[in-house]
Structure 1
Amino acid sequence: MARDLPIGNGNVLINFDAAYNIRDMYFPLVGQENQSSDHLSHFGVWCQEQFFWIDHPEVSKKLNYLQDSLVTNAECTHERLGLRMLLRDGVDVQQNVFLRKVRVENLFDAERTVKLYFHLDLQIYGNGIGDTIFFDPELSSLVFYKGHRYLTLSCLSPDEVKAGPSGYATGQKGIHGLEGTWRDAEDGHLGGNPIAQGSVDGIIELTMTLPPKSTKEAWFWICFGRSKQEVERLERLLRTATPQALLQRTHDHWVKWVNRDQHQLSLLKPDLDSFYKRSLLITRTNLDNRGAVVAANDSDILKFAKDSYSYMWPRDGALVSHALDRAGYHELARKFFDFCIKVLSPEGYLMHKYNPDGSVGSSWHPWVNAQGAKQLAIQEDETALVLYAMWHHHKLAGTIEQSRNDYEQFVKPAADFLVHYRDASGLPLPSYDLWEERYGVLAFTVASVYAGLVAASRFAEYHQDKARAIYYADKAAQVKKAADQQLYAPDQKRFLRALFWNQEKQSYVPDYTLDMSMYGLFDFGLFEREDPRMVTTMQLLKEKLWVNTEIGGIARYENDYYHQVTKDVAKVPGNPWFICTLWYAEWLVASSKTVNDLTEAENLMRWAIKHALPSGVMAEQVHPFTGVPMSVSPLTWSHASFIKVTQEYLSKLKQLTSKDITQPIDASEDKVLEPVIH
């Protein structure tokens, strides 16, 4: 089930499913240590007529955020039982506290007693072995703990003077046929067991009396800490500063934060403006405060391969950080580059992926080839793109004079690796592609290596390292020349996806598969937008990769097998991906000569909006026949792609509508790198 409405503060991340159940609860790092591990935590309501859980089919829902914020706005109505609830959830921006405000409306013309039940099914440290839960009478809270992880669950009723539940229960679940304490709530009375250990869960009850046709507000919260003393401090804070004050400051913070963007968003139509801001906010939820840009934190993918997307891929991180840099959020990009400096290998390359704490993540890239010889288990574009993004980070942030440490610790070792990891022709040696599926010399990788070496040359030039400036520029030119000679198919008048080594022939063989990542040849400046070969390539990509169903969108490549739903590849070459569709939109923006030319790109941007969830969350891909989210949701890269194409759209719109349009549109390789600052 797709994850919706993520909320967080860079230390705590909470994900809901489509029914508004809490599914993921990350702490103390975004993407690492899922304290709930996809176990469902319930929220229920008892009234004298009937009990129901929030995911009951009779509960109609409108799930969204408050405008320009990371505070949710979930409207839930049970018409037959005459109850309407408005849930507003957020993670405090200063403290590691989850806050829930519940506004309950009695639709009947009679006084009623209503009980609310908040249940937590935790897997502390990501597993349910050796957890403890107990009721603390001093805090009037349920306390969960194991090792250095503590969580408390508390509430405040509008009918009570002080915080505390009207009932609670602790117990075991998943063993001995026990489903969990949530079952104990369905009769409107909790047993009050004070402690349990092992595989445990717990639930608290909040009671209120509602006069006829009236509304009242109640509060729940969860405190996160590394010790009992830490959660006790947070509980005291909630009882003095009040949960309302914390939720309000959280709302105000995000409204102010997202409106810091340095682009003239007033030029956008309202739907594009709103979705752009929502993409910025959703992107922020997947950024850990220590610098990891996490790809996705949807634990539902565990069912597919017993692994997740909760890793920091340097490629994703570089492109996300670049989009944030262009928007003016330089402090977030800076943390990412510091992360990369710390994890760079002594040889000058970055690994496949990393855990949010900086340790090397899981991988399926082998260290030997089919002949048993050593090969590097890397995707070279990941190293190159960090170089590329780092240079433009300093340009955009105006901090190039402070880049000496980056130059010494990252730029030189990484650029030297790119230089030496090439064959005699100048092409990069084989590595894994950006899709992590094949080992060869990929067009996307070649373009990124070129861009990385150009960036390194500019760093060297600024720091008056003249020999290296010339050296890196010369090697970049060699990459370009080799690509021009070997990655072009004259008979088809377009570029190749890749070259793969043929052991028997002892030479490269061309791969003619059309792959949307070939857009990188233009995006990273290896070939000019006006190059007829580039134009033909992009036209063919659109023609062959467009999904010919009512859903539409663009697939990754011909006959994409990942989550494939049909073998009719002539009609559906693969599932439509947000990033691929938005890449083509970016090409259209770059190619536009008039304002009217931007219409097709704008339509593709709206395609992304249409196929996002109502909250604005974009998955990795969508089903080609139903449009439902597939794979992980949200995918940080999808949102960064929307951010970037919107920035390109705005920049081109300003150029085309300016009074002086007699000058040609800038076609330099920096055209995708500089935002319009206002």
Structure 2
Amino acid sequence: MEQEGDELTMARDLPIGNGNVLINFDAHYNVRDIYFPYVGQENQAIDHLSHFGVWTAEDFFWIDNDELKRQAGYLNDSMVTHLACKHDRLGLDMVIRDGVDSQDNVFIRKIVVTNHWNTDRKVKLYFHLDLHLYGNGVGDTVYYDPELNSLVFYKGHRYLTLSSKGPDGKGSSPSSYATGQKEMNRLEGTWKDAEDGQLGRNPIAQGSVDGTLELELTLPAGGTAEGWFWVCFGRSLSEVRKLEERVREQAPQALLQRTYNYWKQWLTQDRHELGLLDTELASFYQRSLLIIRTHMDNRGAILAANDSDIMKFARDTYSYMWPRDGALISHALDRSGYFALTRRFFNFCRKGLSEEGFLLHKYNPDGSPGSSWHPWINAQGEKQFPIQEDETALVLYALWHHHKLAGTVKEAREDYESFVIPAADFMSGYKDASGLPLPSYDLWEERYGVHLFTVSSVYGGLMAAAAFAETFGDKLRALRYREDAARVKQAAEQYLYSEAEGRFIRSLYWNAEKGTYEADLTLDASMYAVFDFGLIPVEDPRVEATMKAIRQKLWVQTEVGGLARYTNDYYHQVTKDVDRVPGNPWFICTLWYAEYVIAAARDENALKEAEELLRWTVRHALPSGALAEQVHPYTGEPLSVSPLTWSHASFVKVVQEYISKLKWFRHQRKSSEDQSDEKLLSRTGRADA
């Protein structure tokens, strides 16, 4: 849902992919986004709905029909979907399972249809693709290939085939097909032809085109039948032909099974004791890991979100790699043990580092700079860097922890020389006389100034750089980076703490006329960073006062609850009643507070609040487990993009910290109990028993 009074938007759900192909469904299980060859770049569908329908002699229905009862999720926390459908009036049940093959660029759909009537019946299944190759609908071609018995879509170096297989196992001959034009001359597309159970069998269409494949099944009385569709992706006709050969030789069932097995095995790499959690939280944790993986391109980009529905409002997407998001997501994955995967992200960032030593606002999945609204000059016409400095600092911070967790610090010299030194040198030089970093844009990309979140991240980045320097015996740099970090800390305590407010403040903005900084006292959830990146210890009373104020003032006072970004947040704002609703609840902000609760906890009982915030997150996810960026403060419906990778990574990190702290408390309790037992035995003279 967008804003109050606006029409409902269709949140993305159940993403599946393999790092080259990403498929997004909407809430009705329509395919809406098809990314290839990069995750997040070149949406070959760009939010145009690809239909799936069922014809019977009695009636026809599409997958989003109101009479069809649907229950969708992932199959046993894998990256294979499971959709159970029931159409009572027509006496049909359907189970659909979809996956993107873990080895080849193939999307596979299995359909099992059950007939509840006492007579044999014919059912026709219709799989429709509405493509816009290279992200536009100009100059596409679709034709029926008589050798493959498939529809072939192509333009330039993008080829997709749509194929089918019935229960007889003899191959892939569809019972019919259609190709045609749409979005011109009032033509809606070939999917309309399916509604009467008769496709036109037009062999080729060019321009803005679509295509539909029909697969006829015979259902015995009270029995079932099985059908398959698949889509192969390639850069040439020969490539998709070879993929088609492999699918047919191995059978689509084998591909779907190996994909299921692969992701179940992939989850076992996680290093955390999920047995300490109940099944609901443990399952959600694993699904979050899988959803994060779907948003990671195999060449290293970690995409913020790939929900093209946002284009209706912004004419741009979240399908970019923000270094900040990527760094924090990588950090959560590194804590799980997925070092080989995150290594690609750090290589990506190394290539993207500017000559000056900073990372840009955002990047496309192919490594090119993404779109940006950060100017290169200020209001006075003077040059400024179009950056959010926290993005450079956090990659450096996460890179140190990556090597530390992986046990590869000694092998990190190339990272040190090509990324750490130039990035740390930039941060060391990008400061004023007080030691504060010079202005840049905040993490919300809205304000140009000196921000507590940025300052905290710069401190963490410089300390990481110092640790790298010490590892490689670079004593002068180690000393300089530590001294610069100490100056950042001292300046933050002096200028970003308000005695009058009794807490830290969000930002400082330069007033050119007065020649001084002016304080921004707005409460902002991102101020949690003051302890998270090591600037100020969590037990410091100033941190406690800051986090207490955030909890009191930013908690949404409705039945939905959750923590807003900051007071009077305008982004997707639903109401001006900022006393009750300072902003929409964001998952990352709510989970940041949970991080604080865990870090500050002094006994196991104190962790209950954090556990409840984790459960709040689960309750406000989509049924599949997908987390949006934010939710509506009155209805709990997803707002903005869904899923947001950062939301899932935040959940993963909080669960990791919760488990770690829980284990520590229980270890301490057991040690204390063991010591008490030893003392008791000693007093009773049975110490050697």
* TM-score (normalizing by structure 2): 0.96
Instruction: Please list the CA deviations of residues 542-563 of structure 1 after superposition, one character each: whole Å capped at 9, or x if unmatched.
Output: 0000000000000000000000
Measure, in 2, the Cα distance between the counterparts of 1:324 and 1:185.
45
How does 1:16-27 map onto structure 2 within 5 Å?
A: 16-27=25-36
Q: Do 1:14 and 1:22's aligned partners in 2 also have CA atoms closer than 8 Å? A: yes
SS in 2 for 1:384: helix
Instruction: Please list the CA deviations of residues 452-488 of structure 1 after superposition, one character each: whole Å capped at 9, or x if unmatched.
Output: 0000000000000011011100100000000010000
Q: Do 1:623 and 1:630's aligned partners in 2 also have CA atoms closer than 8 Å? A: yes
Instruction: Please list the CA deviations of residues 591-644 of structure 1 after superposition, one character each: whole Å capped at 9, or x if unmatched.
Output: 111111111110000000000001000000000000000000000000000000
> Could you tell me which residue of structure 2 aligns to residue 329 of structure 1?
338
> Could you tell me which residue of structure 2 aligns to residue 490 of structure 1?
499
> Could you tell me which residue of structure 2 aligns to residue 238 of structure 1?
247
Measure, in 2, the Cα distance between the counterparts of 1:496 and 1:174.
52
> Could you tell me which residue of structure 1 aligns to residue 466 of structure 2?
457
| 2:371 corresponds to which of 358, 362, 366 | 362
- Once the 2 structures are TM-superposed, how far is the Cα of residue 168 of structure 1 from its aligned partner? 0.2
- Once the 2 structures are TM-superposed, how far is the Cα of residue 503 of structure 1 from its aligned partner? 1.5
Instruction: Please list the CA deviations of residues 307-350 of structure 1 after superposition, one character each: whole Å capped at 9, or x if unmatched.
Output: 00000000000000000000000011100000000010010000
Q: Do 1:159 and 1:209's aligned partners in 2 also have CA atoms closer than 8 Å? A: no
Closer/same/farther in 2, CA of residues 476 and 659 from structure 1, 3 Å limit: closer
> Could you tell me which residue of structure 1 aligns to residue 675 of structure 2?
none
Measure, in 1, the Cα distance between the counterparts of 2:382 and 2:116.
73
Measure, in 1, the Cα distance between the counterparts of 2:331 and 2:222.
52
Specify the code of the residue in structure 2 equivalent to 1:448.
S
> Could you tell me which residue of structure 2 aligns to residue 195 of structure 1?
204
> Could you tell me which residue of structure 1 aligns to residue 279 of structure 2?
270
| 2:598 corresponds to which of 577, 589, 594 | 589
Measure, in 2, the Cα distance between the counterparts of 1:122 and 1:172.
11
Q: Do 1:159 and 1:208's aligned partners in 2 also have CA atoms closer than 8 Å? A: no
- Once the 2 structures are TM-superposed, how far is the Cα of residue 504 of structure 1 from its aligned partner? 1.4
Measure, in 2, the Cα distance between the counterparts of 1:164 and 1:174.
29
Instruction: Please list the CA deviations of residues 355-399 of structure 1 after superposition, one character each: whole Å capped at 9, or x if unmatched.
Output: 000000000111111122111110000000000000000000011
Instruction: Please list the CA deviations of residues 467-523 of structure 1 after superposition, one character each: whole Å capped at 9, or x if unmatched.
Output: 101110010000000001000000111001000011211110000000000000010
In the alignment, structure 1 residue 64 sits paired with structure 2 residue 94: no
Measure, in 2, the Cα distance between the counterparts of 1:378 and 1:309.
17
| 1:652 corresponds to which of 661, 670, 676 | 661
SS in 2 for 1:142: strand
Measure, in 2, the Cα distance between the counterparts of 1:522 and 1:659.
24
Specify the code of the residue in structure 1 equivalent to 2:122.
T
How does 1:106-505 map onto structure 2 within 5 Å?
A: 106-159=115-168, 161-505=170-514
In the alignment, structure 1 residue 509 sits paired with structure 2 residue 498: no
> Could you tell me which residue of structure 1 aligns to residue 4 of structure 2?
none
SS in 2 for 1:658: helix
Measure, in 2, the Cα distance between the counterparts of 1:635 and 1:164.
39
Instruction: Please list the CA deviations of residues 62-114 of structure 1 after superposition, one character each: whole Å capped at 9, or x if unmatched.
Output: 01001120000001111101111100000000000000000000111111000
SS in 1 for 2:564: coil
SS in 1 for 2:33: strand
> Could you tell me which residue of structure 1 aligns to residue 587 of structure 2?
578
Measure, in 2, the Cα distance between the counterparts of 1:585 and 1:458.
28
Instruction: Please list the CA deviations of residues 528-575 of structure 1 after superposition, one character each: whole Å capped at 9, or x if unmatched.
Output: 111111100000000000000000000000000000000000000000
- Once the 2 structures are TM-superposed, how far is the Cα of residue 270 of structure 1 from its aligned partner? 1.1
The sequence identity of aligned pairs, in percent, is 67
> Could you tell me which residue of structure 1 aligns to residue 683 of structure 2?
none
Measure, in 1, the Cα distance between the counterparts of 2:419 and 2:171.
54
SS in 2 for 1:568: coil
Measure, in 1, the Cα distance between the counterparts of 2:645 and 2:424.
27
Specify the code of the residue in structure 2 equivalent to 1:520.
A
Q: Do 1:68 and 1:258's aligned partners in 2 also have CA atoms closer than 8 Å? A: no
Specify the code of the residue in structure 2 equivalent to 1:328.
G
Measure, in 1, the Cα distance between the counterparts of 2:173 and 2:628.
39
SS in 1 for 2:585: coil
> Could you tell me which residue of structure 1 aligns to residue 614 of structure 2?
605
How many residues are treated as equivalent by the alignment? 663
The runs of 5 or more residues in structure 2 that have no matched partner are 1-9, 673-689
Specify the code of the residue in structure 2 equivalent to 1:244.
Q
Q: Do 1:61 and 1:75's aligned partners in 2 also have CA atoms closer than 8 Å? A: yes
The runs of 5 or more residues in structure 1 that have no matched partner are 664-678
> Could you tell me which residue of structure 2 aligns to residue 534 of structure 1?
543
Specify the code of the residue in structure 1 equivalent to 2:237.
K
Closer/same/farther in 2, CA of residues 48 and 159 from structure 1, 3 Å limit: farther
SS in 2 for 1:293: coil
- Once the 2 structures are TM-superposed, how far is the Cα of residue 162 of structure 1 from its aligned partner? 2.1
> Could you tell me which residue of structure 2 aligns to residue 617 of structure 1?
626
- Once the 2 structures are TM-superposed, how far is the Cα of residue 160 of structure 1 from its aligned partner? 6.1
SS in 2 for 1:411: helix
Q: Do 1:134 and 1:195's aligned partners in 2 also have CA atoms closer than 8 Å? A: yes
> Could you tell me which residue of structure 2 aligns to residue 546 of structure 1?
555
Specify the code of the residue in structure 2 equivalent to 1:335.
R
In the alignment, structure 1 residue 8 sits paired with structure 2 residue 17: yes
| 2:528 corresponds to which of 513, 519, 525 | 519
Specify the code of the residue in structure 1 equivalent to 2:38.
L
> Could you tell me which residue of structure 2 aligns to residue 637 of structure 1?
646
> Could you tell me which residue of structure 2 aligns to residue 673 of structure 1?
none
Query: Bigger shift: 152-161 or 184-193?
Result: 152-161
- Once the 2 structures are TM-superposed, how far is the Cα of residue 159 of structure 1 from its aligned partner? 4.1
Measure, in 1, the Cα distance between the counterparts of 2:573 and 2:346.
35
* TM-score (normalizing by structure 1): 0.97
Measure, in 1, the Cα distance between the counterparts of 2:365 and 2:217.
42
Specify the code of the residue in structure 2 equivalent to 1:152.
T
Measure, in 1, the Cα distance between the counterparts of 2:312 and 2:217.
40
Measure, in 1, the Cα distance between the counterparts of 2:230 and 2:574.
41
SS in 2 for 1:58: coil
- Once the 2 structures are TM-superposed, how far is the Cα of residue 662 of structure 1 from its aligned partner? 7.5
SS in 1 for 2:125: strand
SS in 2 for 1:552: coil
Instruction: Please list the CA deviations of residues 246-293 of structure 1 after superposition, one character each: whole Å capped at 9, or x if unmatched.
Output: 000000000010121001111111111111101000000000000000
Instruction: Please list the CA deviations of residues 206-259 of structure 1 after superposition, one character each: whole Å capped at 9, or x if unmatched.
Output: 001101010111100000000000000011111110000000000000001012
- Once the 2 structures are TM-superposed, how far is the Cα of residue 161 of structure 1 from its aligned partner? 2.2
Measure, in 1, the Cα distance between the counterparts of 2:602 and 2:478.
35
Measure, in 2, the Cα distance between the counterparts of 1:176 and 1:149.
26
